[in-house]
Amino acid sequence: MVIINNNETDIHGYVGYHKGINRIVVAWRGTIDARNWIEDFGFKKIPYIRCRSCEVHAGFFASWESVANQTDKAVNGLLTKYPSAQIAVTGQSLGGALSTFAAIELQLKFNKVAELYNYGSPRVGNEHTAAFINLKLPTRFRVVHNRDIVPHVPFEAMGFTHVSYEVLYDEEMKSYKVCNESGEDPSCSNRFDPDYSFPDHDIYWIAMDDSVC
């Protein structure tokens, strides 16, 4: 396992190999205090050079860039060791935003990203960016717990759009609905507007095992 971190941006994650499913796993840590990073990052957009008319959240993308080289090096090293492996990317909260950027950038570089699963992720770019990511990543799911507020920032009214597909879990995280391909299904978590919750952001059940090395 390779630890990925940047102390200046407080970004932490790891890259490891999962023997059971032959996957190189790229995972990003969630934030300690979602309220703080929502206040600190702001909602500025910058051009995303990978696609026409694409824009991304400046703060989230800068966080990714602060660890991009480390991540590329770690993934390349494991692909050299396990050439038949595919890549799986995941993350929660701010780590969910990082996972989205990591997945698309690794796909463009290695063309081996099999799936993206993130949890409580904010929006990371505009509608053109979302469409580009949807096109390039065939398997991608955003898990949202009930009324979690974080998936609803930055706001749609500011030109941000989610990638699909949202998977909305109920309050007990026992049942779920896979939402439509728009990324902004009005029958899913958007229907709670404006009655969102910070406490729901702190509860995501994610099964882990010890077969990542």
State the catalytic residues.
Answer: 93, 148, 201
Task: Give me the numbers of helices (H) and strands (E) for the chain, helices first please.
Answer: 4, 10
Beta bridge partners of 86: 23
Contacts 24+ apart (CB under 8 A), 33-39: 34/93, 34/94, 34/149, 34/150, 34/198, 34/201, 35/198, 37/94, 38/122, 38/150, 38/153
DSSP string for 9-41: TTEEEEEEEETTTTEEEEEEPPPS-HHHHHHHH
Cβ(91)–Cβ(27) below 8 Å? yes
Q: Is 96 helix (H, G, I), strand (E, B) or coil?
A: helix
Tokens of 38: 């929502």
